[in-house]
Structure 1
């Protein structure tokens, strides 16, 4: 009896340690999203919109304890992307060609609080792409349909051509995709004015940082000499 007690106590202590050093909620939620996207949700055409649902709980609120904190919005985008990647076949297509993808930039505009215990949806869709990047738009909507926040994300593809990836996904629609909504005409999306300015802003920032890195590197070389 004592041995069982000590075993259970040790197991509880181990779980407690794991809980504090690993973000279990994040990984469990990611696993749930992955299972739902692969086995329980309809596959989507690459230019269609995907939707996931969530609720603002006590773990999500800020110090005022009444609405979602700013950092949680970005965290929720991970689950929206995971759902989108799996249901549209984007990740599978990129990985099959030996490529990878990661987030290169994100901008979120907050319009109205998502209050505690409020249900919301995140709608995700592609708004543009070039030879290196795919641009996603995420909208946080509450029950009334109001857009509480909107985010733009630049997904950087490496070791593959984003134009070719999109061409493959547009021309070779999987049989499991029943409804094709946004992509009926299968044409490349036009670059919107706000996205064009955002891309330009990111390029200016990149050039500025490269100049700073170059200057620092020259200083280090000079110091060694």
Structure 2
């Protein structure tokens, strides 16, 4: 019986070490936390912050957070943001998926074990802000001119 317990413990440790179990545990937790504990957000471009803490599995040989883990935390923040905005639910209904085309991380300082941190979005570039406001204004103008301003999308 003790041999079976040791074998199961060794198998569990091997699975935990070889597969990234923390990722498989933390991603659903981030979605549930965003869905149940945080308020809904209507604006997709609204600034949102995602708190976290450096775990032992995030450390590298120099005992600070591995650079790849920063992007993982950004992934958790992205999924939580999509959940709070309702985009993740809409994607599920459509059986669609999101694709992250590119990412960029700016490492400001080293993070140590159990140190709290926040993932925060970068500011939108001025040209992107201009493009968004231009498209909003022009699409509203086109809808008004065509008489579609009071017609819903389903009709």
Q: Which residue of 2 aligns with 1:78?
A: 75
Residue 13 of structure 2 corresponds to residue 16 of structure 1: yes
The answer to whether the Cα contact below 8 Å between 1:34 and 1:82 also exists between their aligned partners in 2 is yes
Change beyond 3 A, Cα 1:22–1:115: closer
Alignment root-mean-square deviation, CA: 2.8
Structure 2-normalised TM-score? 0.68
Unaligned runs of 5+ in 2: 133-155
| Cα separation, partners in 2 of 1:28 and 1:102, compared to 1, 3 Å | same
**Which structure has the higher relative contact order (CA within 8 Å, separation 6+)?**
2
d(CA) in 2 for partners of 1:22 and 1:101?
23
Give the Cα–Cα distance (whole angstroms) in 1 for the partners of residues 4 and 65 of structure 2.
39
Aligned residue pairs, count: 129
Task: Return the structure number with greater strand share.
Answer: 1
Higher helix share: 2
Deviations 1:82-123 (A, max 9, x none): 111111111222333343211111111223333444211112
Q: Distance between the aligned counterparts of 1:126 and 1:44, measured in 2?
A: 18
* TM-score, structure 1 normalization: 0.49
Q: Post-superposition shift, 1:127?
A: 4.2
Name 2:136's counterpart in structure 1: none
User: 3-state DSSP class of the match of 2:104?
Assistant: strand
Aligned position for 1:61: 59
